[in-house]
Amino acid sequence: MNKDNKNVLTVKDKNRPADENKNAARPGPAISIEASDRDKTAIDIPIKAKKLRRQRRKTALNSIALANILLMGAVFAGGFVYVTLLPHETRADDENRMLATFPKFTPKNYISGEFTGGIADYFDDTVHDRAHIKQFIADNISPLKGRKYGDGEDGAELYGNGFVPKSTAAVTTAAKTTKTADSAVTTTETAAVPETTAPPEEVPEQGELTNNILIVNKRGITLYGGAWGTEKEYASFVNQYKEALGSKNVYSMVLPTSSSFYLPENYANLAYSEKADFDSIEESLSGVIPVDAYNILNAHKDEPIYSRTDHHWQPLGAYYAAEEFALMAGVPFADISEYEKVTLPGYVGTLYMYTQSATLLNNPEDFVYYKPKTPVTVTQYNTRFENPVAANLLLDPSSMPNSGYYMVFGSDERIVHVNTECKNGRNLVIFKDSYGNALLPMLTSSFENIYLCDIRYFDLNAIDFIDSVEATDVLFAMCSFSAVGGNRSCIRNNLTK
């Protein structure tokens, strides 16, 4: 405020009271604001763009999280209602088995975890409308499981890893243990070993399947992983039977699988040669008569001798193998025209069960078997040759689901005695796996008595049993997976029970 302005104020307020003049003497504000439009003014403080993006992203994530919680809650609630409140199924006709039952509670199985595990198995196995759910999975989900293989033109799918190509690497020296009944001798052998290979997985004693299955040309093929020396152990076990049985005839008929005949050439590197291992077995047999099923089946491979959807052979394949065995044994053999042919359509077997492949499910096949026209007497026993029961040679398939048609030959956990009208004094004992079931009807014109025994479920000393039934002939008939896999130990074990 300048000096002139100060004088003006003093003169102007000369006549005011003293108090007013005193107050007026105080210096006033430099700027006097008599009106304001502040209430009409928007004051914007700018927010940085990065901070704004973070706020928006946080809001979006919170919304997504809330939506996920609501969705998952609805799914779990719906699943809980579906699994617990809807009726539970008790039988799977498409798998030919009874489903899991709710476990019985005991303190012991609760502590061990079997009770809670059993509950999980029950709810998982008995879900409502499981057949349609499996169908949906087979059509829409399982095709993603099987690894597409090759150029895709033949629709090939590989379940499992397959095996390393059979290229021959440098010769290596490996120590090998050869086991006998009461000793183990270690020898050193020189062998050509394929590069970066691994021994095949041994098969559980209850079956002959591996987890390596190729689906190609609408056919399932179990990929043979090779014997890796175990074929010689099989031969040594069978040799011990011959040594113990003396003058009785002992035969070895190791049966090839479909891998030998139907694996396309461009996929040949996925499996090993069954024929090479069969030749090695024959060279290792001593006094045992080899039966060459491979070549006779190879001559008929254009016929339906193997199932496309099952790991077993078809009964027609068993017929040709039985014919070759009868020729080696020097016994009569009925022509296939002397059998009644039965055709069961819509068969989808074990390879679908193991792969859930839509290709197999949607391409069922005929299951064809043959009924002998000559009458036979059949007695069935438990695995200790006890509790005889009259039975039929073949079961009626009318009550079977289509996946169970192979069961016309019956189950494995039994001993079957068949007395025939072939009175030639020849009595045959067959030690087999599930492949051997189909052989039984084909030999009813060849031996007077036949005893069918599964090597996996036989609970007697084999030599004592053979002597007790006055057998003249003993046949080992099983597929390659049993002969060189884990089941071969059953042959040895049955010598010492």
Each residue of 58-99: pLDDT tens digit?
888 888 989 889 998 888 888 778 777 788 777 665 555 567
The verdict on residue 372 lying in a domain is: yes
Residue 85 inside a domain? The answer is yes
Distance CA 214, CA 218 (A): 10
Indicate if 415 and 268 belong to the same structural domain: yes
342 and 476 part of one domain: yes
- Kindly state whether residues 111 and 260 are assigned to the same domain: no
Judgement on whether residues 239 and 124 belong to the same structural domain of the protein: no
Final residue belonging to a domain, choices 65, 97, 128 = 128
Based on the number of CB atoms within 10 Å of its own CB, is 74 exposed (0-12), middle (13-18) or buried (19 or more)? exposed
Beta bridge partners of 178: 185
Burial of 464 (0-12, 13-18, 19+ CB in 10 A): exposed
Instruction: For residues 124 and 238, state if they share a domain.
Output: no
Global confidence as pTM: 0.68
Boundary of a domain, candidates 128, 160, 194: 128
Determine, yes or no, domain membership for 60.
Answer: no
Its domain, for residue 104, covers 73-128
pLDDT at 165: 45
Closest CA to 315 of 327, 302, 306: 306
Domain match, 356 and 245 both: yes
Domain count, the chain: 2
Confidence at residue 203, expressed as pLDDT on a 0 to 100 scale? 36
* Residue 32 maps to a domain: no
User: Cβ contacts of residue 277 below 8 Å, gap of 6+?
Assistant: 226, 227, 231, 480, 484
Within a domain: 166: no
Which amino acid, 63? S
Is residue 209 assigned to a domain? no
pLDDT of residue 148: 60
**Do residues 118 and 247 share a domain?**
no
| Rounded-to-integer distance, Cα 215 and Cα 165, Å | 18
In the predicted model, residues of the chain with pLDDT beneath 70 are 1-48, 91-98, 130-155, 161-211
CA 220 from chain centre, in angstroms, equals: 12
Q: What is the pLDDT of residue 58?
A: 85
In a domain? residue 224? no
Residue 108 lies in a domain: yes
